[in-house]
Structure 1
Amino acid sequence: MAKIVGVVDEPVAPGATDNLDINIHSRSLIKFIQQSNTPITVGIQGEWGSGKTSLINSIYHEFNSDPTIKQIWINSWEYSLLSTPEESLLKIINRIIEELLESDTDTKRKDAIKSGAEKIFKGALRVGAQVALGTEAAKVTQELLGSAEQGISALRKQLTDLVGDIANRSSNPYKKIVIYVDDLDRIEPRNAVAILELLKNIFSVPNCVFLLAIDYQVVVKGLEHKFGKQTPENEWEFRAFFDKIIQLPFMMPMGQYNIGKYVNALLVEIGFVEGEGLDDEAVREIILRTIGGNPRSIKRLVNSVSLIQIFSEEKSGGTQTTAEGDKAGGGTENTELDPKDEKFLLFSLLCLQIAYPPIYSLLNREPDFTKWDDKLALQETKRSEEDKEGIFLREFENAAQTEDFNEDWEKALYRICYGRPRMKARVADISKFFSYIKDDLLDGQQDIIGETIASVLSQTSVTSITSTDHAQSVDGFKEAAWKSAADKSLSNKLWNEILDAIEDTTKIFKRGSRKGSSGRISLTDKSVYPGVQFRIGQGPPAFTLYPRVNPPEDNIMIMEKLKSMKGEIESQFGHPLTWKRKEVTFYYKDLPDAQILASDPDQRFPDQDKWPVVVEFLRQYAPAFESTMSDALLKIRHETDKEADSGKGSGQTHQGSG
């Protein structure tokens, strides 16, 4: 499928693929409409952007093939454009009547209904012209209700006869009329309420079913002039009005949306990921902890991803990174992550950027959130969260007893969020978001968590709506707690010297990013073993093989098989290697007389006067390390393929297969 750029904020078209998995809800509503007594009004409730139009589109599409149902679609927003509230209200009523009259063969009755309706409308418009725009829309209803023979009751009787005749006429197939009124929550709330009242009074007609797409909160706002602000004491009055209009309330099932499937479908559509995309459950976890499951918010997020992808491609000279991390010419970003995990981290940080801009801004300044502490919280809040009554301290102490806030960085987060009502309400979600990043996504990489996040954050800055004067830059590199902008610039220059030296002698390492500024580059080669990282480091210079495949038990299997080949591997490479539980490494310091670069254990990259030694070491051993480890991994992959083939009967599989 061709990649598209950006996602249009449009409802799901009738008959289109349902990636939210709400077909069961639409099918249930369809069956209810088919079998229900009439007249009845169904209220499709949900916040703006929750998918109400997409749902009623699916119902409309289903009934299109049913010859016994006549459908009328009203977009109330369109009728409100360039019209006074009173005019738009009456246009909607008139449109429904015209649609009904299209099926009437009785010319005399058709003319009588048109004449009666026209007189009512003229009277209503006369009242509307006497009041300020939208301020007394309820008077329109009063005028209509107060009309004589051409009033509401007379018009409703005529419409009842019309609809009854349509349903009973042998030459007419329609047995039920379904009227959809969409986008009521885009109209001024008081006018939306006036429309609801008129619809109820005029069209309480047998054989008619109304589907109204509206947010209940719009009704609440539209009734405030009558009942005042909603309180626990008067809440029943608002609900009573709504219940009088709506006989079947249906709440959009946002909590049941298949968020992972929906998001991945959009990410595949824009070319950010391939195949099945990111892990569905992980995506759902991040989305619900941040922006929530509103489809409109998700589309905004995906558009940010699309822009960042274009921005990254332009910076790299027009090349595109695939889901496996290979580039048409350039390599992966300079992080310790598997390329797919890096994409997921980028996706997660964009969610944070949209949902909690102040926390995103703080993370930009202090990327290693595990080092956030009371001192940082003091700098951010000046202790403004504390109060004389001690309410904060009591709540803080209670929170600190929970799993979400028992670490220093979590306590700092609690303080920082406390003074912002919206973030205070969701501080547990924010804590869980960061815990997921730390304990799941970046598991085993705690020592470089700040570097990893900072590297990915640099890609998200183009979609940030916040501004700050904290960041200073050198050659395009920003200050960070883990490395200064000047040091980043030097590290980048060293990488380019290294990559120049190994470009003609390596296949994998030469794809390292020339934009990198951290101490290591991680690369994968799916033709060797998908998910296994080949790492190259500056200080001290080193080569590391690090399995990062799924399922996790396959990493153990790979390391065990590598260790069983230890003698063969070291013989082919020509030097002993450092074997650890999760990785195998060859350091400069492992060579005789090579301690010169390891004298300062805190030094992230060597001084410039030692660069020639670093470059020479990496140039000399990169080809041998890469070829030795590739041969070993290909042998393991071949063995696991054979094991998988022989174990098909028992259901055994391995990540390396295929």
Structure 2
Amino acid sequence: MLLTDNPIQGADGDRYGFRAHADVLCAAIVATEDLPLTVGVFGPWGTGKSSFMKVCQDLLRKRSVPTVWFNPWKYDQKDEIWHALIQSVLTEIAQDLEERRLKGDLALRERMAGALERIRRLSQAAAWLLARRAAGPLTAGVVTADDVAAAQTALTEPGTETYLHVNRFEEDFKEVVATYTDGGRLVLFIDDLDRCTPDAAITVLDSLKLFLGEGACAFVLAMDYQVVAEAAARRFHSENPDEARGRQYLEKLIHFPYHLPGVSFESIVRHLQHKITDTRLAGSQELWELVEVAFEANPRRVRRFVNGLNLTAMSLRLNPDDPPSRRLLLHAGTLLALRMKHPGFFTALQSDPGVWTRFDDSEYFKTDLSGQDRALAAASPGVRRLLAAVSFRRSGFEFPDPPSPTEIRLLTQVLTVTGGPPNGAAATSSSAADGTPGEGPDHAA
């Protein structure tokens, strides 16, 4: 059984207690009179931001509040990303207005037709501002490639009404939103800003003010605060980033900072316990103690651990004459956690299996590590705590004694295939060139 990283899609799928908190935030958004409003949903990678916002979106829709969802990380270039943001919003509004126009009476059809024409002009203006980029594929059906070419020609003619329209973008967008929401509000969810390159992330934030800042909108932005603040700092001082300046930028932009409520480890256990295929481990207090010490209450990392453990257990059962013991599976779990959290230590174990025992002895006999072991401990902060947590000497648990060299060789060979890349490698391979995290879409995130 493999678990995905996909976010939950609505309030009914909430497994981590987000709904009560989302109810409060949604009620505040609906009650806010002074719009536009920008809400920052802050939380580290993998803690549930996307799922929390999906719960919010579902609750708002049940209140008949229109919403739009935008994922900026799909677009690499700065000019593409602001254009895609605008076109995504306009397209969703246009599709809904067209449905209303077809179903309404004459007066409603006329009002909707006027709004649709204004949307079309806005889309043309955005395409023109894209300035000869490949705008056609980004317009998502609101305006065709031929329209873009025609608009670029018309909009550059001095004195034309359409050229002046660019300067009225904010006001026209405000009127479109008013028509679309019947005087209410539009909530725009923007996910995974911290997966974007720094320039792209800041471009999205700038675009909200530059183009959409007059409409009756609430912008709900999911991000790791520290990552985006550092991106803003680099924007202002590329050579010597000023973190305080980056924080000030976010403080001016974000009207209400909402720090995602922590997921309880107990709720993670309840949700994932039955996902572990080996029944000897599913209810093992030793396994869940290992998981909590290694990954705390980070739903995404725990799910990835469960995936790796299930695959490892299946691989170890390939020899039906020698099924894996509970002892071996617990050691497989510890080695998997080490591979994910401390890849340097995992590599050292492959060449020197005795290092596990030496670390265990030093921790419980209160002796100092020496030589290469000391350097290894310094390079892998937290590894001694993890090994101490799963030590056979620990009272109250039944952890096995350290694995033999033969067991370590077997398990490290299997985990090289089933354990996936270490956390550090995953982040490096999928992140932006500047080092911002980008490890895939949130599950519970």
Using structure 2 for the length normalisation, give the TM-score.
Answer: 0.71
Residues 437-516 of structure 1 correspond to what in structure 2 (within 5 A)?
Answer: 437-438=390-391, 449-451=401-403, 455=407, 458-464=410-416
1:352-396 CA deviation, whole Å, 9 max, x = no partner? 22211232344453357444599xxxxxxxxxxxxxxxxxxxxxx
Could you tell me whether the CA contact under 8 Å between 1:90 and 1:121 is conserved in 2? Answer: yes
Partner AA of 2:90 in structure 1: I
Q: Which of 44, 56, 60 is equivalent to 1:59?
A: 56
**What is the match of residue 79 of structure 2?**
86
Q: Distance in 2 between matches of 1:443 and 1:106?
A: 69
Q: Aligned-pair distance for 1:351?
A: 0.8
Q: Which of 295, 299, 302 is equivalent to 1:298?
A: 302
More helix by share: 2
Q: Distance in 1 between matches of 2:356 and 2:219?
A: 52
**What is the match of residue 240 of structure 1?**
248
**What is the match of residue 172 of structure 2?**
158
Q: Distance in 2 between matches of 1:219 and 1:127?
A: 29
Residues 523-542 of structure 1 correspond to what in structure 2 (within 5 A)?
Answer: none
Could you tell me whether the CA contact under 8 Å between 1:290 and 1:351 is conserved in 2? Answer: yes
Q: Distance in 2 between matches of 1:35 and 1:20?
A: 26
Q: Aligned-pair distance for 1:197?
A: 0.5
**What is the match of residue 42 of structure 1?**
39
Q: Distance in 2 between matches of 1:35 and 1:275?
A: 48
Q: Percent identity?
A: 20
Q: Which of 60, 68, 72 is equivalent to 1:76?
A: 72
Could you tell me whether the CA contact under 8 Å between 1:45 and 1:213 is conserved in 2? Answer: yes
Q: Aligned-pair distance for 1:226?
A: 2.7
Q: Please say if 1:31 is aligned against 2:31.
A: no
Q: Please say if 1:250 is aligned against 2:250.
A: no
| Aligned CA distance change for structure 1 residues 76 and 371 (closer, same or farther; 3 Å) | closer
Q: Aligned-pair distance for 1:70?
A: 0.7
Partner AA of 1:272 in structure 2: D
**What is the match of residue 385 of structure 2?**
432
Q: Aligned-pair distance for 1:126?
A: 4.1
Q: Aligned-pair distance for 1:29?
A: 2.1
Q: Please say if 1:354 is aligned against 2:340.
A: yes
| Aligned CA distance change for structure 1 residues 159 and 292 (closer, same or farther; 3 Å) | same
Q: Distance in 2 between matches of 1:208 and 1:294?
A: 31
Q: Aligned-pair distance for 1:122?
A: 0.4
| Aligned CA distance change for structure 1 residues 406 and 125 (closer, same or farther; 3 Å) | farther
Could you tell me whether the CA contact under 8 Å between 1:71 and 1:177 is conserved in 2? Answer: yes
CA RMSD of the aligned region, Å?
Answer: 3.9
Q: Please say if 1:212 is aligned against 2:221.
A: yes
Could you tell me whether the CA contact under 8 Å between 2:71 and 2:191 is conserved in 1? Answer: yes
Partner AA of 1:192 in structure 2: A
| Aligned CA distance change for structure 1 residues 275 and 162 (closer, same or farther; 3 Å) | same
Residues 559-638 of structure 1 correspond to what in structure 2 (within 5 A)?
Answer: none
Structure 2 residue ranges without an equivalent (≥5): 102-110, 136-161, 419-445
SS at match of 2:190: strand
**What is the match of residue 316 of structure 2?**
312
Could you tell me whether the CA contact under 8 Å between 2:338 and 2:346 is conserved in 1? Answer: yes
Q: Please say if 1:228 is aligned against 2:238.
A: yes
**What is the match of residue 265 of structure 2?**
259
1:441-486 CA deviation, whole Å, 9 max, x = no partner? 687989x8245796477345311379xxxxxxxxxxxxxxxxxxxx
Could you tell me whether the CA contact under 8 Å between 2:39 and 2:257 is conserved in 1? Answer: yes
SS at match of 1:25: helix
1:560-595 CA deviation, whole Å, 9 max, x = no partner? xxxxxxxxxxxxxxxxxxxxxxxxxxxxxxxxxxxx
Q: Distance in 1 between matches of 2:48 and 2:194?
A: 13
Structure 1 residue ranges without an equivalent (≥5): 130-146, 170-174, 318-329, 334-338, 375-399, 467-658
Q: Distance in 1 between matches of 2:12 and 2:375?
A: 44
**What is the match of residue 283 of structure 2?**
277
| Aligned CA distance change for structure 1 residues 284 and 204 (closer, same or farther; 3 Å) | farther
SS at match of 1:42: strand
Q: Please say if 1:417 is aligned against 2:370.
A: no
Q: Distance in 2 between matches of 1:7 and 1:455?
A: 27
Q: Distance in 1 between matches of 2:308 and 2:93?
A: 45
Could you tell me whether the CA contact under 8 Å between 1:160 and 1:205 is conserved in 2? Answer: yes
Could you tell me whether the CA contact under 8 Å between 2:36 and 2:217 is conserved in 1? Answer: yes
Number of residue pairs matched by the alignment? 377
Could you tell me whether the CA contact under 8 Å between 1:40 and 1:210 is conserved in 2? Answer: yes
Rg (Cα) greater in structure = 1
SS at match of 2:63: coil
**What is the match of residue 146 of structure 2?**
none
**What is the match of residue 91 of structure 2?**
98
Partner AA of 2:308 in structure 1: S
Partner AA of 2:87 in structure 1: N
Q: Aligned-pair distance for 1:241?
A: 1.4
1:205-244 CA deviation, whole Å, 9 max, x = no partner? 353111112233145235514322565xx22211121122
Q: Distance in 1 between matches of 2:283 and 2:371?
A: 34
Using structure 1 for the length normalisation, give the TM-score.
Answer: 0.50
Q: Please say if 1:10 is aligned against 2:6.
A: yes
Partner AA of 1:305 in structure 2: L
1:548-569 CA deviation, whole Å, 9 max, x = no partner? xxxxxxxxxxxxxxxxxxxxxx
SS at match of 1:118: helix
1:577-631 CA deviation, whole Å, 9 max, x = no partner? xxxxxxxxxxxxxxxxxxxxxxxxxxxxxxxxxxxxxxxxxxxxxxxxxxxxxxx
Q: Distance in 2 between matches of 1:444 and 1:288?
A: 14
**What is the match of residue 527 of structure 1?**
none
SS at match of 2:7: coil
Structure scoring higher RCO (CA < 8 A, sep ≥ 6) equals: 2
Could you tell me whether the CA contact under 8 Å between 1:346 and 1:457 is conserved in 2? Answer: no
Partner AA of 2:338 in structure 1: L
Q: Which of 399, 408, 414 is equivalent to 2:367?
A: 408
Could you tell me whether the CA contact under 8 Å between 2:42 and 2:259 is conserved in 1? Answer: yes
Q: Distance in 1 between matches of 2:14 and 2:385?
A: 30
Could you tell me whether the CA contact under 8 Å between 1:193 and 1:219 is conserved in 2? Answer: no
